[in-house]
Structure 1
Amino acid sequence: MISEGQPGGIDGEVLRRGELTVLGRIRSASNATFLCEAHLDDHETHCVYKPVAGEAPLWDFPDGTLAGREYAAYLVSAALGWDIVPYTIIRDGPAGSGMVQLWVDQPGDALDDDPDAGPDLVDLVPAGKVPPGYLPILQAYDYAGDEVTLVHADDIRLRRMAVFDVLINNADRKGGHILSGVDGRVHGVDHGVSLHSEDKLRTVLWGWAGKPVDDETLAQVAILRDDIRSGLGEALGEHVTGREIEALLARTVALLNDPVMPTPDRHRPIPWPAF
């Protein structure tokens, strides 16, 4: 029998207990990433599966830790209460243990052909033509050699995601890692290179750099701080090091003591490619 009272609801229980069937590989991902279907009784749901065995080695992150970092990022997101990271677990799958995350259904591609649809939440627009409600990030040239501006929406959902990225020290917030769901929510995915103890923040969400953080957001950050000092810190310790948990706690305290968003004053502050 399936219960709706568990984390992730019915889909979450299907994810935890259901049989995973691989539908195909997501080729755009740098690590082995699969679209799967989870089946349990008469229920099914789509999900993303990233086996630890398919993780490419990185020079600055320990081997075999990316799946755990994805799950740890979900735990931080859940503690903040912002529903940024889709429901995520660690479980066995067809290629061994790995991260399994609920799939985010997005509007159909037909919207991309609508000239009145407007830019995406993160987009490139012609230089000098930043749309109302958008914040410019940097000037660049597209593949045709035309000057363009990287922009993102001045949207509270993105602003919270920017704060979240500061807290988890996200080294890879690309525009393509920001998903607009059909339910109106905005989710962030691909957090395998996060929670390092050294400063590695790389993001396209620099529109609020140097701006104050609002009191409502700070109240949630304070809750996260307290959670890290209690049960959350222990849960995170199964997936990241003690030093990395101390660094996460230090980032929450630093933001509460000086509630201003950081500025991109470090080397390569934007991931490449940006999408």
Structure 2
Amino acid sequence: MTAPDVDLDGGALELVGRITAASNATFVGKVGDVAVVYKPVAGERPLWDFPDGTLANREVAAYLVSEATGWDVVPRTWLRDGPLGPGMVQLWQEPDAAQDPVDVVPVADVPAQGWRTVLEGRDEDGRTVAVIHEDTAALRRMAVFDVLVNNADRKGGHVLPTAGGHRYGVDHGVTFHEEHKLRTVLWGWVGEPLSAEELAGVERVRVGLGGELGAHLADLLSRPELRALAARCGALTAARTLPAPRGDMPAVPWPLF
């Protein structure tokens, strides 16, 4: 919730600090008393496979698709001017440090229930470990959302657990490419049937592309990217299952967290 008297679009955006671990310029700021994340377009690092200056648009597009699904995967995100020029602004979400929806544990310590194993490997000490994520409806919805937006960078740290049990996804700058780019740590449900709720969310996006959602996304994405989004909606609806990794690209991002 935000204070009703705060002008998030036009109010002064004050920078409070910088998130130095981010690959692009990312700042914590405030609009009035509302904490936000600010990513100026001028601070985007060029990528070989995404057009320059488009990452902020993709973050906003991801929020719009999240809203269309009805799942509240992405915190409120919008475009506005700031101290370093135009950029993406997103409502800050305070993560609950006591929760780890995605984790790395010794293979012997993988819980028998409530978790899914994504992959196994060895740590720097040679011990066999597993990358795991919780088996929850909220995280499954995020996995479906990532397929829809073709998320190329769902790291474990891009899943924010809140004290109330909600899971937010953040950092969606490398999404919506017209070519298959899905890289995620949320592979625990490969081949499993989509639930009625998940299929309904995909259908809401598909229908929305022919109306208001499509009109808004047309200002943020290219026509080929919009056609690819519609195709992914159709493919999910036809297959009715969570897909497996495919193609020559790595199936998981690096680093994983």
TM-score normalised according to structure 2 size: 0.95
Once the two structures are superposed, what CA deviation does each residue of 1:165-223 show, in whole Å capped at 9, x if it has no partner?
00000000000000012332110000000000000000000001111101121112111
Identity of matched residues, %:
52
Counterparts of 1:29-108 in structure 2 under 5 Å? 29-39=22-32, 44-107=33-96
In structure 2, what is the Cα distance between the partners aligned to 1:181 and 1:166? 23
Coordinate RMSD, CA, aligned: 1.5
Alignment match of 1:28 (pick from 13, 21, 26): 21
Q: TM-score, normalised by structure 1?
A: 0.89
Q: What is the identity, as a one-letter code, of the residue corresponding to 1:122?
A: V
Query: Which residue number in structure 2 is paired with residue 234 of structure 1?
Result: 215
- The Cα of 1:160 is off from its aligned counterpart by 0.1
**Equivalent residue, structure 1, for 2:178:** 197
Residue 183 (structure 1) aligned with residue 164 (structure 2): yes
The equivalences for 1:1-275 within 5 A come to 9-10=2-3, 13-39=6-32, 44-107=33-96, 109=97, 111=98, 120-131=100-111, 132-266=113-247, 267-275=249-257
Unpaired segments of 5 or more residues in structure 2?
none
CA contact (8 A) 1:15 1:102 kept: no
Tell me if structure 2 keeps the 8 A contact 1:12–1:87. no
Q: CA deviation at 1:265?
A: 3.1
Secondary structure, counterpart of 1:204 in structure 2 = coil
More displaced 10-residue stretch of structure 1: 8-17 or 128-137: 8-17
CA contact (8 A) 1:11 1:45 kept: no
User: For residues 50 and 139 of structure 1, do their structure 2 counterparts lie closer, same or farther at Cα, with a shift above 3 Å needed?
Assistant: same
Distance 2:212 2:221 in 1: 15
Counterpart secondary structure, 1:124: strand
Aligned pairs, number: 255
For 2:93 and 2:2, how far apart are their aligned partners in 1? Answer: 15
Decide whether the 8 Å contact of 1:91 with 1:98 is kept in 2: yes
Which amino acid in 1 is paired with 2:106? P
Secondary structure of 1:120's aligned partner: coil
Partner residue, 1:114:
none
Note if contact 2:208-2:214 (Cα within 8 Å) is conserved in structure 1: yes
User: What amino acid maps onto 2:255 in structure 1?
Assistant: P
- Contact map agreement 2:142 2:169 (CA 8 A) in 1: yes
Deviations 1:56-111 (A, max 9, x none): 0000000000000000000000011100000001000000000000000122x4x4
